[in-house]
Structure 1
């Protein structure tokens, strides 16, 4: 056991040494050090240039990919949020974060995203503050993320989702009254948001 611990400590020390060396190189300490040879400085400059160019290429690729596939990523994230809300009555924060981050780049209109955030997220936040049984925290975050992604158009999606939710709620109450049965059922909101966004996509592209 002690041997394993000692090996682990040795590996950690070696990894720490490599990390320190890499950090020194990355931040240009080898380059600024007057005792460092010109060969090492040139290599340092080249490595820094390669790192910067690589980072720029990756950022450009990520940006172009998000701009092209962003909506599909948002739609998949909404589907995941709808499923988890339907099954567990919870919407993971990661879903809202992904939608907001990808949507902001995909829309790339900061002012529009800000207005969408306020118009889509604030009303549900107020409802949640009044009564948590009406709207959950996950619904508020998801609606705000939708506002960041679609701007003021998110209000239209949320309005359609609310109408669908009201129709479904009325149908459940009518069923309970006709069948004369009693059961408690909380209606998840994320599936209706997904259906409204999916419906908007189908209408805009195929109808």
Structure 2
């Protein structure tokens, strides 16, 4: 295996482990620990590009706007999680992961009949990010 292939496998493995931890922790406690975001940013340094920096900055912006504008909508952990995801996947991958995760979250919660009830968004965002990593 080439060095670049090894780096992608390592990056993907670490990315999946951190996202799995974030998803399980958020599902149990509705809190995403700060170490998750730091670890994701550190993972993005494996094969860092300018797109990683732009993903870190731009991907969480829509989530931040919603969190500030709509009371009790999103938590800061969700915003920071998307920053970490954006740093690993870049702008297009990060935004696509967010859209995919949000779409699945809305669909699942509508099917469950939970329209106004609070729920952990982290598992859905993590799943969207995992899918985008595989297909990107």
TM exceeds 0.5? Answer: yes
1:1-54 deviation digits (Å, cap 9, x = unpaired): xxxxxxxxxxxxxxxxxxxxxxxxxxxxxxxxxxxxxxxxxxxxxxxxxxxxxx
Q: CA RMSD in A?
A: 2.4
1:164 aligns with 2:96: no
Structure number with greater CO (CA < 8 Å, separation at least 6) is 2
CA–CA distance in 1 between the matches of 2:42 and 2:118?
A: 29
CA–CA distance in 2 between the matches of 1:172 and 1:68?
A: 36
1:91 aligns with 2:32: yes
Larger gyration radius, structure 1 or structure 2? 1
Corresponding residue for residue 151 of structure 1: 90
Equivalence map 1:14-163=2 (5 Å): 68-103=9-44, 105-109=45-49, 111-152=50-91, 153-163=93-103
Q: Is the 8 A contact 1:118 1:144 kept in 2?
A: yes
TM-score by length of 2: 0.84
Task: Report the alpha carbon displacement of residue 68 of structure 1 after superposing the two structures with TM.
Answer: 4.5
Q: How many residues align?
A: 131
1:29-87 deviation digits (Å, cap 9, x = unpaired): xxxxxxxxxxxxxxxxxxxxxxxxxxxxxxxxxxxx76541111111000000001000
**Partner SS, residue 106 of structure 1:** coil
Q: Name structure 2 gaps, 5 residues minimum.
A: 1-5
CA–CA distance in 1 between the matches of 2:82 and 2:32?
A: 11
Superposed structure 1 runs of 4+ greater than 3 Å apart: 65-68
Corresponding residue for residue 3 of structure 2: none
